[in-house]
Amino acid sequence: MTAGLDASALPQQLLNGLMFGAIYALVALGYTMVYGVLKLINFAHGEVFMVGTYTALFVSWQMGYFQGAPGMTRATSPAVLLLMLVASMIVCGLLGVAIERFAYRPMRKQARIASLITAIGVSMLLQYGGALVLPVSPPRSILEQVNPYDGNLSIPLKPRNASLAASVDKAQAEEKLAALALEQRIKQEGVSSEFDLSEEGKKIRAASQAAAQVSRDAESRYNESGMSLNVPYGQGIMFLATLGLMGLLTYLVMFTKTGRQMRAVAHDFDSASLMGINVDRIVTFTFLIGSSLAGAGAMMCATFLGTQLTSFVGVTWGVKAFVAAVLGGIGNIPGAVLGGLLIGVAETLVVWAGGSQYKDAIAFVILIFVLLVKPGGLLGSAKVEKV
């Protein structure tokens, strides 16, 4: 086994972490916004995410992307993806509003613990209710054909050694020749696969395998002579869309009248209502925005990462995003983004350092450390609760 750190992979790993952390951040925003205005931890947020993945799945089915559909190719228009995104955002937004209206609002005058327990109840209702009605098997994941963005974007940091390129071409040509010879031999012997070949045939197979090995080594040497960043197109789009949505949210909260009202409600719920702000409307609006962001994250994960869908898919995301929100300082919007990115990067760095078995633990270790030093989270203000 090779130990030691591969410094040349570090930029790539940091980028991976940032791209993934952005999705954590997107989901964490929902937690933090709701906590900001209501001081309530919306445990059903992960399940809103789950509903978002299924909405995207159903829309993709409606558009003709189901297993065994005729004439399905990868070359689709991005309009399908956009439609899936918008549908997920709308459905999730409305679901969030409905949850607030029917589960949390009747509890608002009660002790806060009552709302908290209601939130856990809604979460379980959606998980197990979903297991009854939603299709888990088969086919339960969004087909990759819906995603027209195949392949990688390669950003060169250091050019590759051009003199090696010729050897790669040569090796690849030889590999093709050897593969062709094997194919002919299989046909010639009339067997169904390479595993039934005669001893003579197996020698040809070994030659083909050796040629493939030479070609792979040449390609690897060529790739390693330079340095480049690889971004799968899908994940790149996911990252850009996430940034765009965050920018939109910043504009909404900081520069619109509703945003100002939202900040006022977050600052002091009762005073805000005395100042003539319709707090119910603001709370509804907060759930609408927070949940639709989760919906956007859900659609992109399900489409670009190929997440397998079950009604419990939101649990892991919910927990990680919640940790991200607390880490950044729950109730603080830039904090949630920072927390999400930090967790994403920390997780990939742990993997890069060879500790992939501690990937899930690192988020919590950081959380504990930060809370011990700064109980309010990274950007949160540590307010002592008045009893």
With 0-12 / 13-18 / 19 or more C-beta atoms within 10 angstroms meaning exposed / middle / buried, residue 18 is middle
Residues 264-303 that bind another protein (CB under 8 A): 301
Q: Which one of 69, 98, 129, 144 is in contact with another protein (CB under 8 A)?
A: 144
The one among 39, 160, 216, 263 contacting another protein by CB under 8 A = 216
Confirm if 297 and 27 have CB atoms less than 8 A apart: yes
Among 157, 369, 381, 382, binds another protein (CB under 8 A): 369
DSSP per position, 69-116: -TT--S---HHHHHHHHHHHHHHHHHHHHHHIIIIIGGGTTS-HHHHH
Exactly one of 198, 220, 271, 278 binds another protein (CB under 8 A); that residue is 220
> Which residue, 107 or 194, has its beta carbon nearer to another protein?
194
From 39, 76, 152, 243, residue interacting with another protein (rule: CB under 8 A)? 152
Among residues 61, 111, 118, 68, the alpha carbon closest in space to that of 84 is found at 61
Whose Cβ is closer to another protein: residue 244's or residue 355's? 355
Tell me the closest approach of the beta carbon of residue 41 to another protein, in angstroms.
Answer: 20
Q: How far is the CB of 256 from another protein (least distance, A)?
A: 34
Closer to another protein by CB, 162 or 361: give it: 361
Nearer to another protein, 292 or 348 (CB): 348
How far CA 32 is from CA of 224, 252, 286, 328, in Å, comes to 43, 15, 10, 9
Pick one of 307, 334, 374, 376: the residue that binds another protein (CB under 8 A).
307
The residue from 158, 368, 375, 382 that contacts another protein (CB under 8 A) is 368
* Ramachandran bin of 236, using left for φ above 0, alpha for ψ from -120 to 50, beta for the remaining angles: alpha
- Nearest alpha carbon to residue 340 among 47, 45, 29: 29
Measured distance CA(228)–CA(166) in Å, rounded: 19
Calpha distance 17→294 (Å, rounded): 19
Q: Provide the Cα torsion 276, 279, 281, 287; round to 10°.
A: 150
Q: Of 212 and 252, which CB lies nearer to another protein in the complex structure?
A: 212
Number of residues lying near another protein (CB under 8 A):
64
- Give me the 162-201 binding string for another protein, x by CB under 8 A, dash otherwise: -------------------------------xxx------
Q: How many CB atoms lie within 10 A of CB 45?
A: 32
Distance between CA atoms of 236 and 286, rounded to whole angstroms? 28
Residue type, 39: K
The minimum distance between CB 356 and another protein, in angstroms, equals: 4
Determine which residue in the list 184, 198, 213, 278 makes contact with another protein, applying CB under 8 A: 213
Q: Which is nearer to another protein, 94 or 212 (CB)?
A: 212
Six token digits for residue 206: 């070994």
Other C-beta atoms within 10 Å of 153: how many?
Answer: 14
Backbone dihedral region of 71: left (phi > 0), alpha (psi from -120 to 50 degrees) or beta? left
75 binds another protein (CB under 8 A): no
Work out which of 230, 250, 273, 284 binds another protein, going by CB under 8 A.
230
Residues engaged in binding another protein (CB under 8 A): 1-2, 6, 8-9, 12-13, 16-17, 20, 67, 131, 136-141, 143-145, 152, 193-195, 205-206, 209-210, 212-213, 216-217, 220, 224, 230, 232, 234-235, 301, 305-308, 310, 312, 315-316, 347-348, 351-352, 354, 356-357, 359-361, 364-365, 368-369, 372-373
